[in-house]
Amino acid sequence: GAGVSQSPSNKVTEKGKDVELRCDPISGHTALYWYRQSLGQGLEFLIYFQGNSAPDKSGLPSDRFSAERTGGSVSTLTIQRTQQEDSAVYLCASSLDKNQPQHFGDGTRLSIL
């Protein structure tokens, strides 16, 4: 389809392992966001990519979290040495530019055992 695609849909892993989450934005969208949402809570901003500008990393909760966006398209969010408190739904969104509304993927549900 033409929407934002995230993979995997679900990920279960043991505490201490590294995980990589992938986001394919809508083609042509220059802005890409990562959010985290715990059950019953609001969206927590993680990181924002806009074109070729330096990303806004101000929402990353610790240095275990990192993200990159290659070629201005696909993005990966990496969590190293996962902890149980990292369990959440990780949502990716993209927009045509920084002022246009965002469109979200279905999210990756991450469970840390």
Partner 1 sequence: RKEVEQDPGPFNVPEGATVAFNCTYSNSASQSFFWYRQDCRKEPKLLMSVYSSGNEDGRFTAQLNRASQYISLLIRDSKLSDSATYLCVVNKERFYFGSGTKLNVKP
At 110, list the tokens.
Answer: 């991450």
CA distances from 82 to 19, 40, 59, 104 (A): 8, 21, 17, 24
Q: Is 52 in the site for partner 1 (CB under 8 A)?
A: no
One-letter amino acid at 15 equals K
Candidates 7, 80, 96, 106; binder of partner 1 (CB under 8 A) is: 106
Is 83 a binder of partner 1 (CB under 8 A)?
no
Q: Which of 10, 38, 41, 111 binds partner 1 (CB under 8 A)?
A: 41
Q: Tell me whether residue 24 or residue 106 sits nearer to partner 1 (CB atom).
A: 106
Size of the site for partner 1 (CB under 8 A): 19
